[in-house]
Amino acid sequence: MANFVKINEKNIVIDSIVIPDEVKNGQEYISNLKLEGRWIETFDNNFAGIGDYYNESIERFEKIIDYSLESNLTYTSEDDE
């Protein structure tokens, strides 16, 4: 199976699809499904998920870490052990 992800205009992954093994051309398969947008194949060594960033200059997906979410964490005394 092949995995493709859809990226938006900011190169953020917003959707994904798994292509069956018997399909030879994933882009053509996606086109035949009438799925619009920019779809990029993702591999085990560079697997992408929803919310990841596609860095075109190096043709790799990068995880985005939102440190602002850290303010929502609650620490307990057990965390210090």
> Where are the chain's structural domains?
2-66
Q: Is the distance from CB of 41 to CB of 6 less than 8 angstroms?
A: no
Can you read off the two tokens belonging to residue 5? 């992800």
Q: Which residues pair with 5 in a beta bridge?
A: 16, 40
- Could you count the other beta carbons within 10 Å of the beta carbon of residue 54? 21
Average pLDDT over residues 52-72: 82
* Stated pTM of the model: 0.76
The identity of residue 3, as a single letter, is: N
**pLDDT tens track for 4-50:** 999 999 999 999 999 999 999 999 999 999 999 999 999 888 899 99
CA angle 61–51–22, rounded 5-degree value: 65
